Chains A and B, each alone.
Chain A
C-alpha cells in the first residue's frame, strides 16, 4: 500500500510538469496580451493611452520575452519562492489574491457537500429499499427537478424570495462592512449568516444527483446473496441494510471525494457570479477574459494540481474502503 502511494506520487511529478507547460501555452494562445487588451479598454473608454507607461509595464512583466523565458521565470518563481507572479489587472501578487478566496471556496464547497450527503444518502437508501412506493416516486420526481434546474436560476429565485418575502440582504458572503475587514469573530458570524443561501443553491443540484446515484447503487446491491446471508442469520432488517448493501454502495461515493477538489476552483462559477460570492470561479473567469496571464495561469495550474491530487486521494480512499482493491496494491 505504501509503495503504491509513493509510486503514484512519483508519477505525479512529470504529469504536473507537462500540465504546467500546456496551461501556460493555452494562456498565451489568444492574440495579443494583457497590455494590448488594457490599452484597448483605455482607448474604448476615451482615456489617453500613455505609451511609455505601457512600455514600462511590458518590461516589468517581461511580456516582450520569448514564451519559454516567461515560462521559466514563472515556474522558478513558484518552485523556489512560492511566488506565483503578479496580477497585472489587480496590480498585486497572485498569491495575495487567491489564497483567501481559495479558503472560502473550500469551506463553501465542503459545507455544501456535507449538507447534500447528509440529505441524499438517507433519502436514496430509503428510496431504494422502498422501490416503487409513493415516497420513492415523490423523491424521484423531486430529484429529477433538482438535477434539471440550472443552479444560477435557482440562485436568482432564492435571492428574489429572500429579498421580497423576508427583506434579507442577500448576495455575497459578507455584509458590506466586513468585506475588506480583517478576520474577526464578528466577520465569521456574518459569513455564516450569508452562507445558507449559496449552500442551499449549490447543495440542491448535487443532492438531487446524489439521491439518484445512491438509489441506483443500493438497488444494485440489495438483492445480492450476501444480503440474504445476513437476513438468514436473523440480523434486523434495518441494521443489515446499512451494514451490508449500503456500505458496499457507498464505495463509489468515497472515491469521488477527491474529484470534488478539482471542482473547487472553477465549479459553480455561474452561481458564484449571480450571488456575487468571493470565490475562485468569478475571478478566474475575469482573469481569462482580460488575459491577466499569471493570474489565469495560476488558476489553471492550481486546478490541475488539485485534479491530480484529487485523483490520488480518490484512489487511496477507494483502496481504503474496499479490501478487494486494497489487496492488489
Chain B
C-alpha cells in the first residue's frame, strides 16, 4: 500500500443504520479504510453491502430513516496550506460548513446519469449552480467556467450543449455533464458511485479514460465504487472489499488480484469471466467460472460470528460461527478480517 502520501479521509468503524418499521438495517457496520490525497481507492462488494451508504455517509447526506450512529470520518482539510482535521460524522448535515465541503471539496458522481440530472433544468443551469454557490462568481463568469468544464470533459459543442436538457443528451454525455459538474469546484475527493454501470462498454471505456486523465490533470483523490473487478484492475491503486457493511479485506490492487486472502475476495475473483492480463498468471485450472455459494444474508438477521461464514468454503466450525473476526494486518498494508487467514 502506498503509505507515503498524505491522508485525506480516514473512515473509522463507521456505522450507518436504517431504522425501519420492520427492524434496523445495519447498512454499514464498522467500515474502516483510508483515502490518501491523489490516490484512487476502489470499493468493491456485492449489491447491498453498503458501498453507496458509505459514500453518502462521507457526504453526510444519508437519507431518512438512515443515520450514522457510530464511528468517525476524519477529513483532513487543507485551508490556505494548513491542514485541519474535522470529523464529518459530528457535523450538522445542513450546517453552512458541511455544505461548503459538500460539492466543493468532496463531490460525487452518481450511478444513474439518466435520472441524476433534473428533467426541467438545462445542464448549464445545474453546473453553474455549483460554481456560483461555492466560488461566488457572477452569472456570466460561472457560465464561462461551466463551458470550460464541459470542454474539459470532452463534451462536443460545449457552447451549445450547455443550454440543452438531460433528455437531449446520450447516457455518456450526461455522465460527462455530471463529471463536469462534480469537478467544477476542483474537489480534493471525487466519489464515483458506479458511474459507468448504466453505460455501454464503449462509453464506459471512454468515461474511465476521461476520469484517469482528469485525475492526472487535477490531482484529486477518487473513491471508485463498483462491482466490476475489471474496472478495479484498470482504475485503482488500492482496493477495499466490503461484505455486509464491513471491510473484509484491504490491500493494493496487485495484492488483491494475485494474493487475495479473504475467502470472499477469492470467491469474487473466481466469479468473474475475465480479468484481462491480470488473470493470465493465475493458471489454467482456475479459469472456470464459479458463482458465490448461497445468498447475501437477511440484513435484519445478521449471522453470529463472521457474517460470511454460512457461504464460506474455509469455514472453521466452532470458530467462524461464534467469534467475530477482527481486522488483522497480514502484511504491510494488507489487512484481512478472517479467522482462517489469521495464521497465514
Contacts and interface: CB of A to CB of B under 8 A. Distances in A.
A41 B158 CA distance: 78
Contacts of B115: 224-226
A229 B116 contact: yes
A228 interface: yes
Contacts of A322: 119-120
Interface in B95-141: 98-104, 107-108, 110-112, 115-121, 126, 129-130, 133-134
A231 B116 contact: no
A232 B59 CA distance: 7
A32 B144 CA distance: 76
A249 B117 CA distance: 15
Given A232-B103, A233-B129, A234-B99, A244 B59 contact: no
A190 B251 CA distance: 82
A149 to B, nearest CB: 33
A248 B133 contact: no
Interface string A224-264: 11101111111111000001100110010000000000000
Contact of B133 (A224, A234, A247, A327): A234
A324 B167 contact: yes
B33 interface: no
Chain B contact surface mostly: mixed
Please provide the 4 A-B residue pairs with the shortest distance between their CB atoms, ordered closest to farther: A234-B103, A233-B103, A234-B102, A234-B99
B181 interface: yes
A56 interface: no
Interface string B17-51: 00000000000000000000000000000000000
Given A228-B110, A327-B168, A234 B116 contact: no
29 contacts: A223-B63, A224-B115, A228-B61, A229-B110, A229-B116, A229-B117, A229-B126, A229-B178, A230-B118, A230-B126, A230-B129, A231-B61, A234-B102, A234-B130, A234-B133, A235-B103, A237-B94, A247-B118, A247-B120, A247-B121, A248-B120, A251-B120, A321-B120, A323-B119, A323-B120, A324-B119, A324-B120, A324-B165, A324-B167
A244 B102 contact: no
A327 B167 CA distance: 9
Interface of A: 223-226, 228-237, 243-244, 247-248, 251, 321-324, 327
Interface string B156-198: 0000000001011000000000100100000000000000000
B37 to A, nearest CB: 21
A318 to B, nearest CB: 11
A244 B129 CA distance: 12
Given A225-B110, A234-B100, A234-B134, 13 more contacts: A225-B115, A229-B116, A229-B117, A229-B118, A229-B126, A232-B59, A232-B110, A234-B130, A236-B99, A243-B121, A244-B118, A322-B119, A327-B167
A302 B129 CA distance: 47
B45 to A, nearest CB: 21
A248 to B, nearest CB: 6
Nearest to B64: A131
Interface centre among A223, A225, A233, A324 (most CB of B within 10 A): A233
A251 B104 CA distance: 31
B194 to A, nearest CB: 12
Nearest to B99: A234
Contacts of A224: 115
Contacts of A243: 121
A231 B60 CA distance: 10
B133 A225 contact: no
Nearest to B168: A327
Nearest to B166: A226
A231 B178 CA distance: 14
Contacts of B99: 234-236
Nearest to B104: A234
Interface centre among B98, B99, B104, B118 (most CB of A within 10 A): B118
Nearest to B122: A323
Contacts of B126: 229-230
Nearest to B94: A237
B112 A225 contact: yes
A94 B119 CA distance: 48
Nearest to A231: B61
Contacts of B110: 225, 228-229, 232
